[in-house]
Amino acid sequence: NAGVTQTPKFRILKIGQSMTLQCTQDMNHNYMYWYRQDPGMGLKLIYYSVGAGITDKGEVPNGYNVSRSTTEDFPLRLELAAPSQTSVYFCASSGGGPLNIQYFGAGTRLSVL
């Protein structure tokens, strides 16, 4: 019953540091997504992928990079962490199609100090 797994659960970064948020899914879903959620706000789409080797920008891509070398994995890279990137990050996957129901990981809580 793994579903979508995110690591780490928590992380504190210093300004300018880099890190990769990991996301893996075992449902053989083609679609994967990265969102960020600031306190009291809805989810904002950072990047998404419709299949291995294909990625596209969402609403708030600046400061982030992604890759999709396999169906299962969709890591999110922060190159030069800034305080504005303090947020909760959620990864999700879906099978696509007309409904495109998304399944979410438990989230990564990131603080940049």
Distance of CA 92 to the CA centre of its chain: 7
> How far is the CA of 37 from the CAs of 8, 70, 93, in angstroms?
16, 26, 17
The residues, any chain, with a CB within 8 Å of residue 40's CB and separated by 6 or more, are none
Q: What is the closest distance, in whole angstroms, from the C-beta atom of residue 16 to another protein in the complex?
A: 28
Stretch that binds another protein, among 17-25, 37-45, 63-71, 79-87 (CB under 8 A): 37-45
Single residue of 81, 107, 110, 112 touching another protein by CB under 8 A: 107
Contact 6, 108 (CB under 8 A): yes
Which residues within the stretch 44-103 sit at the binding site for another protein (CB under 8 A)? Answer: 44-45, 48, 50, 58, 88, 90, 92, 96, 98-103
Q: In the complex with another protein, which residue's Cβ is closer, 25 or 102? A: 102
Which amino acid is it at 57? K
Rounded to a whole number, what is the distance in angstroms from the first to the last CA of the chain?
A: 35
Stretch that binds another protein, among 18-26, 43-51, 63-71, 73-81 (CB under 8 A): 43-51
Chain contacts with another protein (rule: CB under 8 A): 31, 33, 35, 40-45, 48, 50, 58, 88, 90, 92, 96, 98-107
